[in-house]
Structure 1
Amino acid sequence: MSWEAEIAELRRREDMARQMGGPDKIKRQHDGGKLTVRERIACLLDSGSFHEVGAIAGRARYGTDGSLEEFSPTNFVFGRGKIDGRPMVVGGDDFTVRGGAADAAIWQKQVHAEQMARELRIPMVRLVDGTGGGGSVKSLEMEGRTYVPLMPGWEHVVANLSTVPVVALALGSVAGLGAARTVSSHFSVMVEGISQMFIAGPPVVARTGVEMTKEELGGTEIHERAGAIDLAVASEEEAFAAARRFLSYLPPSVYDLPQRIVPQDDPNRREEKLLSIVPRDRRRVYKTREIVEMTVDAGSFMEMGRLYGRSVITGLARLDGWPVAILASDPYHYGGGWTADAAHKITRFVDLAETFHLPVVHFVDIPGFLIGPEAEQSGTIRHGARALTAVYQATVPWCSIIMRKAFGVAGAGHSNHTRLRYRYAWPSGDWGSLPLEGGIEAAYRADLDKADDRAALLKEIEARLNQVRSPFRTAEAFLVEEIIDPRDTRPLLCEFANLAAPLRTAGPPSFGYRP
């Protein structure tokens, strides 16, 4: 006697689960410009690689004879799959079943997904499309009671941040715990036009007297500029591609090292444009992203958080095939000065590099911290000190390229000076405790106030000091190790990447990663 009848029943239930919320709800999802959770998983993973777990979990209704008459699957689909041949855990909300709300879910499935990623030491990808929390207030009537809030399984969410790469894609209107799940990641993405994210949505906010649309309250532009997400893209397919690309730079877990790919670019490539890209006029700006693109492996730079903390550029790249973390100044915003937002951005990014053993390359043009009332009101010095702490706590290999300015406390944060100062300066280097342009007025105030011709004396003092601000004088005292031809930057950075590779050490970071 075989078990064919039971296998047939299993297949029937699996087929019912694949119907999700039914044809009408699926059509509504498509009419809203959105894929279903199963379509998303198929687009994200290597073809045919998805192994679902808990497919037939849900709510059933049985007849008097014990036969299954009706079945509604839980609105969370998860399992294992592969991206570019590498194992992953993927879990996604099914918005066609009760809008992804937890009152139609079995929360143990989400917890199991997070625990699976942690204990198998493989990356986690969350496809978030709903609240994922307590559900609607209808659950109060359904359950006949309320409860004190708790977050089952959140310990796994927290532990995963220090164990495996976590990517979260917000693919609809995401609120409450769903929003928390999105931002509790190493890389988060929203899709323009279909994604919104809120602590609470417009109907709840309206009770405070503020009427807003979903886009006005929590659209991509809001969260990209606020730094709540790392990237906004134009389509779900672009979101999946971004997730795949981000994960390609990272190891499966902290117990492994980021892997080199076969180099596709000449490590000795020298770009002529680098010789003149930094203007002689220190008040003029230049495009740091072009410098990054010209020095890393061609096409390998992936920027994160472009619209947040804009005086600092962060992203991942490769040097001679090795994955590295790129930190760079952008003089187009506050001259590259560190703001409170920039400091937050630096802290989180350096912690990412430390967690996943990525060497850091820092392209430096830092005039100091932002000054003025706005800087004081935003607590810039505290947040800046936290960024400095991240730099000094980092143990990964670190190389700095001083392109122009390095002034004050923030400028000192271009690297940890107590470690080997693996750095290079360009001839355009300009450094000190204060820039001359602002420091002369403070240091020579008494002389200037007594002068018959203040402007002439100011010009004379500036000329004298300009003679000693030459980077060659600093190099004479070995206070900067090497001044290089900017065109040699890529060959030297590729050498750094190859020297750094065997120094990387697998294992948990000394402190936990925080989103």
Structure 2
Amino acid sequence: MTWQKELDELRQREALAEQMGGEEKVSRQHARGKMNARARLAALCDEGSFREIGKIAGKGSYDADGELESVLPAPFLFGKATIHGRPVVATADDFTIRGGAADAGITRKMVQAERMAHELKLPIIRMIDGTGGGGSVKTLEQIGATYIPAVPGWSDVVTNLDTVPVVALALGPTAGLGAARIVASHYSIMVRGLSQIFAAGPAVVDGLGASYKSASDHQQAKEDLGGSDIHTRNGVVDDEVASEAEAFARARHFLSFMPEYAGQPARRAECSDPRDRRAEELLSLVPRDPKHVYSMRRGMNMVFDEGTVFEIGKNWGRAAITALARLDGWPVAVVASDPSFLGGSWEAKTSEKVERFVKLADQFRLPIVHLVDNPGFMIGREAEMAGTIRYGVQAMNAIYKATVPFASIVMRRAYGIAGSAMSNADRHQYRYCWPSGDWGSLPIAGGLEVAYKSELEASDDPAAELEKIKARLDKVTSPFRSAELFNVEDIIDPRDTRPLLCEFADLAWRKLESEA
């Protein structure tokens, strides 16, 4: 006597689960240019590594004799897998079953996936395609009553944000709880033209969609309401990509910089880029004319290990560049001014972006490198209306609270409160300055005529007198005068930036590994 009969039923149920929402709905999913949930899991994870949990969960249909006729699988898949050989929890919504709505699923599956991540200290990846919420208005009639909203297991989502790396991929229209699950992550991605995010979709916003005359109208309405053009520019989502394949690649790349859980050291990678490489182009990167801009991204590519700069949030908070990178194989977090946007002045969104990124680096114990060319917080009525100073101080607070090693390279300007936020001035200043350095409480050009008003008014030639004053102050503002007083630690040849930062990375990781 064996249990072959039961094993045959198990295989039958597994085969039914693999049909997902059925051939017609899977074909419809593909016709929209979207992969199905199982294909997504296979594409994201290391080949053959995904082991599904709860595969046969769903709603079974039985004949009069109690024999299984069919199964509607749960619209949420999860399991253990590996990415770059390291264990993760991988999840995917199945849009082919009731649009991925939770009322067609089993809540416990989603809860168990989130719980598995923080209890076993595994990164979790959410591939979100659908509402993931409590269902439609029609559901209320089936229940026979309404209810006060609650999200089972949301405490596990919150715990994961404090415990393990969380990556969210928006791979279709996502509303309600689906949108919340995307935002509750450390790194998020949208696929341009394929995914949209909203608290409520166009049909709800526009009176159940009465104004839409065709599917194309509805698609455009979704883009107008919550497309990637909106959410990768307001900071709701970090990045947009052109395809699902690119989304999977970026998710894998992000995780390569991360430890498996908060408290574990991230891993060093093999590095063939010489740590003593001195890029000649760095010597002329910063122009002599203070009004001219330059490419900070070009400078970053010359300083960090070749091909390792992984920028996050490129389209929002654009006065600062935030990226992960490597120095002699060691992972680091990078904050860099972008003088090509608002001259590098921190406005509200930039400050919000810096705050969030510094907190990410501190949580997962990545040393921070700050490349500084900051003329200060953005000024003017619009900046005041946006509450720039509040967001700016919050960014500064995050920098002062960070406990990971911090290195600053002052490449040009460092003015005002924003300039002082380059690092925690009450800690050891691991800092180098380029000869192009220009700093102070405020730009001299902005206060010259006020400070020397009486001398200019008394002069027979105010314009000539102003030029004389400028010439005198040019000497006073030389970075070497600051170095004489040890107000700056060292002025370096820009070409020495990489070797010195590689030295910093060695020392920083020596400290971090001793704490683990």
- Range of TM-score over shorter length: over 0.9
Aligned residue in 1 for 2:12:
12
CA RMSD of aligned residues (A): 1.5
Amino acid at match of 1:245: H
Supply the distance in 2 between the matched residues of 1:111 and 1:450 (Cα, whole angstroms): 77
Aligned residue in 2 for 1:335:
343
Work out whether 1:424 is the aligned partner of 2:432.
Answer: yes
Supply the distance in 2 between the matched residues of 1:264 and 1:184 (Cα, whole angstroms): 36
Aligned residue in 1 for 2:179:
179
The answer (yes or no) to whether the contact 2:55–2:77 under 8 Å persists in 1 is yes
Aligned residue in 2 for 1:26:
26
Supply the distance in 2 between the matched residues of 1:15 and 1:475 (Cα, whole angstroms): 73
User: Cα 1:252–1:463, aligned 2, differ >3 Å: closer, same or farther?
Assistant: same
Work out whether 1:148 is the aligned partner of 2:148.
Answer: yes
1:444, distance to aligned residue in structure 2 (A): 2.6
1:452, distance to aligned residue in structure 2 (A): 4.4
Supply the distance in 1 between the matched residues of 2:462 and 2:381 (Cα, whole angstroms): 28
Percent identity of paired positions between Structure 1 and Structure 2: 57
Work out whether 1:279 is the aligned partner of 2:287.
Answer: yes
Work out whether 1:346 is the aligned partner of 2:354.
Answer: yes
User: What does residue range 295-374 of structure 1 map to in structure 2 within 5 Å?
Assistant: 295-374=303-382
Amino acid at match of 1:223: H
Please state whether the residue corresponding to 2:233 is helix, strand or coil. Answer: helix
Aligned residue in 2 for 1:409:
417
Aligned residue in 1 for 2:501:
493
Is 162-171 or 213-222 further displaced after alignment?
A: 213-222
Aligned residue in 2 for 1:79:
79
Deviations 1:39-79 (A, max 9, x none): 00000011111111111111112222111122101100000
1:451, distance to aligned residue in structure 2 (A): 4.5
Work out whether 1:393 is the aligned partner of 2:401.
Answer: yes
The answer (yes or no) to whether the contact 1:78–1:92 under 8 Å persists in 2 is yes
User: Cα 1:286–1:90, aligned 2, differ >3 Å: closer, same or farther?
Assistant: same
Supply the distance in 2 between the matched residues of 1:462 and 1:208 (Cα, whole angstroms): 66
Please state whether the residue corresponding to 2:167 is helix, strand or coil. Answer: strand
1:507, distance to aligned residue in structure 2 (A): 8.2
User: What does residue range 250-261 of structure 1 map to in structure 2 within 5 Å?
Assistant: 250-261=258-269
User: Cα 1:446–1:208, aligned 2, differ >3 Å: closer, same or farther?
Assistant: farther
Q: What TM-score does the superposition give when structure 2 sets the normalisation length? A: 0.96
Which 4+ residue blocks in structure 1 deviate beyond 4 angstroms?
Answer: 208-212, 449-452, 505-508
Deviations 1:239-293 (A, max 9, x none): 0000000000010001310110121210000000000110000010000001110
Supply the distance in 2 between the matched residues of 1:205 and 1:459 (Cα, whole angstroms): 61
1:9, distance to aligned residue in structure 2 (A): 0.7
Please state whether the residue corresponding to 1:268 is helix, strand or coil. Answer: coil
Please state whether the residue corresponding to 1:291 is helix, strand or coil. Answer: helix
Q: What TM-score does the superposition give when structure 1 sets the normalisation length? A: 0.96
Supply the distance in 2 between the matched residues of 1:41 and 1:288 (Cα, whole angstroms): 36
1:473, distance to aligned residue in structure 2 (A): 0.4
Please state whether the residue corresponding to 2:113 is helix, strand or coil. Answer: helix
The answer (yes or no) to whether the contact 1:128–1:172 under 8 Å persists in 2 is yes
Structure 1 stretches lacking a partner, 5+ long: 509-515
The answer (yes or no) to whether the contact 1:78–1:91 under 8 Å persists in 2 is yes
The answer (yes or no) to whether the contact 1:80–1:90 under 8 Å persists in 2 is yes
Supply the distance in 2 between the matched residues of 1:103 and 1:446 (Cα, whole angstroms): 76
Supply the distance in 2 between the matched residues of 1:255 and 1:337 (Cα, whole angstroms): 34
1:192, distance to aligned residue in structure 2 (A): 1.1
User: What does residue range 369-384 of structure 1 map to in structure 2 within 5 Å?
Assistant: 369-384=377-392
Please state whether the residue corresponding to 2:77 is helix, strand or coil. Answer: strand
Please state whether the residue corresponding to 1:226 is helix, strand or coil. Answer: coil
The total of aligned residue pairs comes to: 508
User: Cα 1:372–1:450, aligned 2, differ >3 Å: closer, same or farther?
Assistant: farther
Please state whether the residue corresponding to 2:163 is helix, strand or coil. Answer: coil
1:112, distance to aligned residue in structure 2 (A): 0.5
**Of the two structures, which has the highest relative contact order with CA contacts closer than 8 Å and spacing of 6 or more?**
1
User: Cα 1:208–1:445, aligned 2, differ >3 Å: closer, same or farther?
Assistant: farther
The answer (yes or no) to whether the contact 1:254–1:507 under 8 Å persists in 2 is no
Aligned residue in 2 for 1:478:
486
The answer (yes or no) to whether the contact 1:76–1:100 under 8 Å persists in 2 is yes
1:225, distance to aligned residue in structure 2 (A): 0.8
The answer (yes or no) to whether the contact 1:314–1:349 under 8 Å persists in 2 is yes
1:460, distance to aligned residue in structure 2 (A): 2.2
Supply the distance in 1 between the matched residues of 2:367 and 2:324 (Cα, whole angstroms): 10
Is 57-66 or 94-103 further displaced after alignment?
A: 57-66
Work out whether 1:235 is the aligned partner of 2:243.
Answer: yes
Deviations 1:441-498 (A, max 9, x none): 3323344455444323322222221110000000001110000000000000001101
Structure 2 stretches lacking a partner, 5+ long: 213-219
